[in-house]
Amino acid sequence: MSEQSSYLTKNGFMHLREELNYLLKVDRPRVVKDVSWAASNGDRSENGDYIYGKKRLRQIDSRVKYLLTAIEDSKIIDPLEQENKDKVFFGATVEYEDLNTNQINQIQIVGVPEVDPKENKISWLSPLSKAILGKKVGEIVSYESPSGQKEIEIMSIIYR
């Protein structure tokens, strides 16, 4: 099991399975049908629909392979089942204050395949996650971020 795909939240696992199901049952069959139609039109070397379709099939197959590996190699963790809810562990949603800027931020610690900056989901392997794992509300933590040394205070820990 590779370190980078060894954990998934229960919700993350379900999203990956939904994406895999969509690719296999909806997207791939549609593209195969389009490629088959394009191939029936004759010369494939200058057939844009055929060339694009084959490229799209390779992309889908690559993503399917990745999803299968991520799902198979992962340990599924349900944050709601965390027994020690007063500390930061995998799956926790953590609100913290950046003591350099006084800005309040919220992140959820998730598996690598689940990372989504728009949703404030960060990898359990990130510098911030590594710095706060095992910490409690009120603790001040220093860590090295890509933009330099940061100091934060943990404001709340939620498991959902």
Q: pLDDT digits over 142-157, tens only?
A: 999 988 999 999 999 9
Q: Rounded CA gap, 17 and 80, in Å?
A: 20
Task: Please report how the helices 28-39 and 48-72 are oriented relative to each other, as an axis angle in degrees rounded to 10.
Answer: 150
Looking at residue 39, its pLDDT comes to: 87
Residue 146, amino acid? P
Is the pTM for the entire model greater than 0.85? no
- The predicted-structure confidence for 28-61, as pLDDT tens digits, reads as follows 999 999 999 988 887 777 788 899 999 999 999 9
Residues 102, 61 share a domain: no
CATH of the domain at 139: 3.10.50.30
Of the candidates 22, 48, 77, which is a domain's last residue? 77
- The predicted-structure confidence for 90-122, as pLDDT tens digits, reads as follows 999 999 999 999 999 999 999 999 999 999 999
User: What is the domain range of residue 53?
Assistant: 3-77
Of the candidates 44, 62, 77, which is a domain's last residue? 77
* Degrees to nearest 5, angle at CA 15 with 76 and 17: 75
Is the pLDDT at 1 greater than 90? The verdict is no
What is the count of structural domains for the chain?
A: 2
Is the pLDDT at 12 greater than 60? The verdict is yes
Residues 154, 106 share a domain: yes
Assign 106 to helix, strand or coil.
strand
Q: Residue 94: count other Cβ atoms within 10 Å of its Cβ.
A: 24
